[in-house]
Amino acid sequence: MIMQKKLKEIIFKYFPEANMDIGKWQEVIKNPSRTPSIPHLFNTIEYFVAYFSNNDSLNLSFVLYEKEEAIGIMPLMVHKDESNNWILSSNGTDIVEPIFKKSLGEKSIKKLESKILNLIFDLCRYLKIEKCRFVNMQLFRLSEWYANLLELADETFTGHFLFIDLSLSIEEIKSRVRRSIKSIINKGLRDWSIQVHEKPTNELFERFRLLHQEVAGKSTRPLKSWNMQKFQIECKESFLVTASDDKNCLVGAGLFAYSENLAEYMSAAYKRELFNKPFSHAVQMKAIETLKNKKIKWYELGQKYLTIDKNKNPATKKELSIVHFKEAFATHTLARQFLTIKIPN
């Protein structure tokens, strides 16, 4: 509690009126100066805080005000890594850019971004963090925030991610799917019950969690994180797609998060003894159709893990197998920029 109080004091030093009002957060998200990414959603931040809740995680996100009007948001959290060192981020690894209301002028935004960066440096000094990592979440361009950070960067590097352009017709998307799996998708849709759940029961979601635990061979994260993901569905920020057999036994499921223009493949579990069956492909296609109907523009499947990518450790055999699966659906491979900054004394 002493740590949390001190960190809040640092935030209030820069922004005395800052708070964590979710209603005000939503006001900014609904009328933003730039497209919010999934990590900009308040419930997504709460999910990551829950994910790292065994590592002393704290949500430090805040709403910025001008004359009592909410004008911006900054997603921030802290947690300890395996070496007991603090990490400041927005999603467990990287810091994303702040989002401001569209009505705010460029001059005001630059001034606020400068204050936020100094605040980040102060938080890092207090937590004895020597280096921070930032990510550019804007597609096809650098955000002004990230472009300004480049002048301070200690290191820059690129990661490559698989996307589906949902502005294409569903027929065009299907035509671009890897030829070898087109019949597999159709067979999966015929042989298994593939259903979209926008309001899953607690019992169904618990079956998904237990399936994930069964496939992983252990509980991989705190129960809090699963509760948060169920809450995200209730808030219409994600949905569940399930695959069941003719006895209504759950054999696989995928969880898909979305904002106004972007979506992400967040979590999945498929029975190991049925890996040779095609229902995972059918789940993915059903999710694509659902996102398309929601008029989402881009769907991020995950990282491609090229050997030149330095934003993550080299991919495991399992991760490469998952990438091969996702590549079958992707219409684009897009570069995402990362940088690190050494915290000045």
Packing angle of the helix pair 223-234, 42-51 (nearest 10 deg): 170
Query: Residues 6 or more apart from 136 whose CB is under 8 A from it?
Result: 97, 142, 143, 146, 336, 337, 338
Radius of gyration of the chain (CA): 21
HSE at residue 193, side-chain half, CA atoms within 13 A, is 9
**What local confidence, expressed as pLDDT, does residue 345 receive?**
86
Check if 2-152 and 162-335 are the same fold. Answer: yes
User: Are 63 and 24 in contact, with CB atoms under 8 Å apart?
Assistant: yes
Question: Each residue's pLDDT tens digit in the chain (345 positions)?
Answer: 778 999 999 999 999 999 999 999 999 999 998 889 999 999 999 999 999 999 999 999 999 999 999 999 999 999 999 999 999 999 999 999 999 999 999 999 999 999 999 999 999 999 999 999 999 999 999 999 999 999 999 999 999 999 999 999 999 999 999 988 899 999 999 999 999 999 999 999 999 999 999 999 999 999 999 999 999 999 999 999 999 999 999 999 999 999 989 999 999 999 988 877 778 999 999 999 999 999 999 999 999 988 777 777 777 888 888 888 899 999 999 999 999 999 998
In the chain the beta strands, taken as DSSP E runs, fall at: 58-59, 62-66, 69-74, 77-80, 86-89, 99-100, 131-135, 155-165, 193-197, 238-244, 250-258, 262-270, 298-303, 332-342
Sequence spans of domains, the chain: 2-152, 162-335
One CATH from 3.40.630, 1.10.1740, 2.40.50, 2.10.25 for 2-152: 3.40.630
Class of domain 162-335: alpha beta
CB atoms within 10 A of CB 28: 23
